[in-house]
Structure 1
Amino acid sequence: MQKIPVAAIFDVGKTNKKLFLFDENYKIVYEKSARFTETVDEDGEACENIESLRLSVHDSLRDVLRFQEYQVQAINFSAYGASVVCIDREGEPVCPLYSYLKPYPEELKKQFYDTYGGEGRFSKKTASPVLGSLNSGMQIYRIKYERPELYSRISYALHLPQYISYLVTGQCFSDITSIGCHTNLWDFRKNDYHEWVTKEGVIDKFAPIAPSDEVVPVSFLGNNYKAGIGLHDSSAALIPYLVNFQEPFVLLSTGTWCISLNPFNTTPLTEAELQKDCLSYMQYKGKPVKASRFFGGYEHEQQVKRIAEHFNQNTARYKTLPFDPEIISKLQREQGPAPGERPGINHLQESVFAQRELSSFASYMEAYHQFILDLVTQQVSSTQLVLEGADVKRIFVDGGFSKNAIYMNLLAAAYPEKEVFAASMAQATAVGTALAIHRHWNTKPLPNDIVELKYYAVTHDTKL
């Protein structure tokens, strides 16, 4: 029996660690998922268990390479960002994989920004809002000043995708999609590391930068393979869209965070945009992607619980609610701004619906429509930050809200001059990670039908 050529993709999320095998048509032919119990660092803060991750990568790869029906041609890796593994000369971790949620010392933060031009000026150069440990470069800075003896033992500080690649290849690289995502490391204006990285000597702790779409030869279990150097997961998830669509678009990636990504907006970030949680990602070809975000999915979870409790309904009821334009018209006539809403409310940070009295709604249906109306108002405030300065005609929505008919119809109403689509594809991050190294393993042309689209036309009089 002739073996089916496949690519093996490790997709390491904060919660789930997955391994996929894709055939040459990018169909999933095998899938495995694992969860690890977190451990704690020296301060008692929860963090990733590196040893469990290392064992899982080797064991999982060993298993799939033994399959009789598949021939693994290439291996690649994606993982969540803002996480760094510091290894010594033997390749062993010298400290825990610190959580990006770990509180950052205020004095050390002040020392850093005072030395390098102040928060506003620095953030504009690095396209990085001030986020403490979420700025992964600050994790290295902290180790240098708080634990100098440990810092001296670091041979390389590898972002998590590159560490997982190292576990398979034995080679150390840095990757622009990890370096260029709110790390405080990259100066977007000069397209190089920020001067602090050199002045502090931190440059010596970073491996050479390799192209995100390159591979290195690997021998494992007596066979030869090609392995990528790994990608930041948000950048990987954008790749299928960049491959399938050449006309300018914005991608709304909706989950716990609702992130608006515009790969076609090259305008530099302003201080005002940075204060509104705007930032720049770096896509796998090394070009900046302007992004904005708000906590939409989290807010949805909280308000659905509140509505369901008030109307004595199951929290899952919203999943079957159809869009009713007449309810929206009634709400816009009768409800208006929330009672007590302050002028100039920050729609990116504050929920208007949380201020509304649920007793003013006749039903669960009405209350949920009003909530989504308020949520889409927040979404538009966020998305506008990346739309301005770029001629975009299409908006793609993927993730949870792409399946929400009320959200999709209201978003289409908010952008009548644009084409709004619900986009769906299985495992966008893993597919993008495989697509990045397509030319190294796949004999077929790049596919043009990976993303399924559902168009939302404006068929009602609703205006936002």
Structure 2
Amino acid sequence: MKQKVTAVFDIGKTNKKFFLFDEAYQQVHKEYIKFDEISDEDGYPTEDLASLQKWLKQVFNRILATEAYEIKAINFSTYGASFVHLDENGNPLTPLYNYTKQIDQHIIDGFLEKYGPREEFLNTTGCADLSLLNSGLQLYWIKHGKPEIYKNIKYSLHLPQYLSYVFIGIPLSEYTSIGCHTGLWNYEIKDYYDWVYEEGIHKILPPIVSTETSVNMNYNGKRIKIGVGIHDSSAALLSYVRSVKKKFVLVSTGTWSIAFNPFDDDAISKDLEDKEAINYMRINGKPVKATRLFLGNEYKIQVQKLDKHFDVSEDYHRSIKFDYDTYFEIIKDFQHYFKWESITDPDMPSETKIPFDEFEHAYHQLMTELVLLQIKSIKKVIGDDEIKRLYVDGGFSDNEVYIKLLSHYFRDKKLRTTDSSLGSALGAAIAISDSKLNSKFLKNNYSLKKHVPFIVK
């Protein structure tokens, strides 16, 4: 007898994953792939959208044909700040522009001149960073910088909804993607910001539906419930919000480390210069206070430099365990030695210095400095809230040095980690289900682990 499962495509910037979950949300199958980036028309690296779409269909059709599983539902979780622009035939018009791509300053200046002041924009959209990380600005940039392309756009879909479109052929929008630091949404009136209507951009944005919406359709002869997709960070948060009754902060780590506080009633930052304060949206439309840190990106850059400096293999850092004596040797006369390339911090030196003889020592120094940045980010999102619980998921939940240090510096809080690979995927599965989650859900489904601070000698 075939096992009934829910399928989820969980698409990160690096790894593209496919999961099958049984009716108790236990993982029964997983596979993943990486694609080499391609270049957009300006030579900037970007997602290979054609290869991604081909892989989606190949994997799904193969699993559908197997005798082992009966797919009852499928949903999609992807990174945000990314639009796919479709022509009238439903074909992508442009590359999937990388959100790290720089755009001309005169475009940003023109936007602020028309729709500023910046303070008002920040206070209503929860989005201080005017760049392509703000996907609404991408639409403005294309309209005014690439008018020949813009006039041929029938619909612009956020990436999660594009993956759903690949299967259902219906263009839709949903709240978590719209509310993810896009600059499109006015949290005060719960509608698109005025500039969206004044620019006529609302005409290329599909109808908005609930994140829990699904379409029942016949796909290759099988009756399947197909979801509309969800932004990965909002998906990662969903399981915690539904199963944890006490206040908490979730630190979702990866290329970006995002700290979420879903319990702050004053969620939108008033600091114009704080580009790391952003907002997300829960599936019920409520804003979520968040801070971001380019943790995984900076970690990758610095570890590659350490690999070269100490002439070790590129995977060597994965073997490093926390060493108490090494850490206390570092903090005895602590100094900052690393100059960040993708993070700005007033404490960093003008250039990197590595006054260590061993990789392990330099690595502990690197992780200490990165965790100090992480602590600032978490404290900022906690604010004045009485929050005693921290959950960490994503790639750094498996990093022993990171977790030991975080637990040490937050000795007054209960620190828990969950399985690094499941957060957003399980959230996407839950989003299209009718199940209620109990307090043991994280323990049973996310390999929840408790962490106790190490004893200071």
Question: Please, what TM-score do these two structures have when normalized by structure 1?
Answer: 0.87
The 1:54/1:402 distance shift into structure 2, 3 A limit, reads: closer
Amino acid at match of 2:345: Q
Match of 2:20 in 1: 21
Cα separation, 2, equivalents of 1:338 and 1:194:
42
Partner residue in 2 for 1:129: 128
Q: CA deviation at 1:375?
A: 2.3
Match of 1:336 in 2: 334
Q: Secondary structure at the match of 2:173?
A: coil
Q: Which residue of 2 aligns with 1:163?
A: 162
- Cα deviation for residue 166 of structure 1 reads 1.2
Structure 1 103/307 Cα, relative in aligned 2: closer, same or farther at 3 Å?
closer
Q: Which runs of 5+ in 1 are unaligned?
A: none
For residues 318-373 of structure 1, the C-alpha deviation after alignment (integer angstroms, 9 at most, x for no partner) is 5444444444444433x1344899xxxx99636648867533x5755444433333
Query: Equivalents in 2 of 1:76, 1:447: separation in Å?
Result: 24
Deviates more, 1:80-89 or 1:226-235: 80-89
Matching of residues 180-329 of structure 1 within 5 Å: 180-272=179-271, 275-306=274-305, 316-329=315-328
> Please, which moves more after superposition, 261-270 or 131-140?
261-270
Partners of 1:455 and 1:239 in 2: how far apart? 20
Q: Secondary structure at the match of 1:289?
A: strand
| 1:82 counterpart = 2:78 | no
How do 1:147-158 residues align onto structure 2 when only pairs under 5 Å count?
147-158=146-157
Gaps of 5+ in 2: none
Residue 127 of structure 2 aligns to which amino acid in structure 1? S
Question: Root-mean-square deviation (CA), in Å?
Answer: 3.0
The match for 2:100 is 101
Question: 1:267–1:389: 8 Å Cα contact kept in structure 2?
Answer: no
Contact 1:241-1:451 at 8 Å conserved across structures: no
**In the TM superposition, what whole-angstrom CA distance separates every residue of 1:31-76 from its partner, at most 9, and x where no partner exists?**
3434445444333433334333333333332222222221111111
Answer with 1 or 2: which has the greater Rg: 1
Alignment-mate amino acid for residue 336 of structure 1: F
Please name the residue that 1:5 is paired with: 4
Distance 2:57 2:320 in 1: 45
Structure 1's 22 and 117: CA in aligned 2 closer, same or farther, altered over 3 A? same
Q: What is the CA–CA distance in structure 2 between the aligned matches of 1:9 and 1:148, rounded to whole Å? A: 36
Q: Of the candidates 354, 366, 372, which is equivalent to residue 358 of structure 1? A: 354
The amino acid that maps onto 1:229 is: V
Aligned match of 2:396: 401
The CA deviation string for residues 221-261 of structure 1, in whole angstroms up to 9 with x for no partner, is 12221111101112112223223322111112222332212
| Amino acid in structure 1 at the alignment position of 2:378 | T
Distance 1:97 1:52 in 2: 12
- CA shift for structure 1 position 110: 0.6
Identity %: 37
Match of 1:453 in 2: 448
Once structures 1 and 2 are overlaid, which stretch shifts more, 418-427 or 158-167?
418-427
Check conservation: 1:303, 1:354, Cα contact below 8 A: no
Q: Report the TM-score when normalising by structure 2.
A: 0.88
Q: CA deviation at 1:454?
A: 2.5
Q: Which residue of 1 aligns with 2:411?
A: 416
Cα deviation digits, residues 106-150 of structure 1 (max 9, x gap): 111111011111333312321112242221111211222233343
- Mean alpha-carbon deviation: is it higher for 132-141 or for 423-432? 423-432
Which of residues 423, 427, 430 is equivalent to 2:425? 430
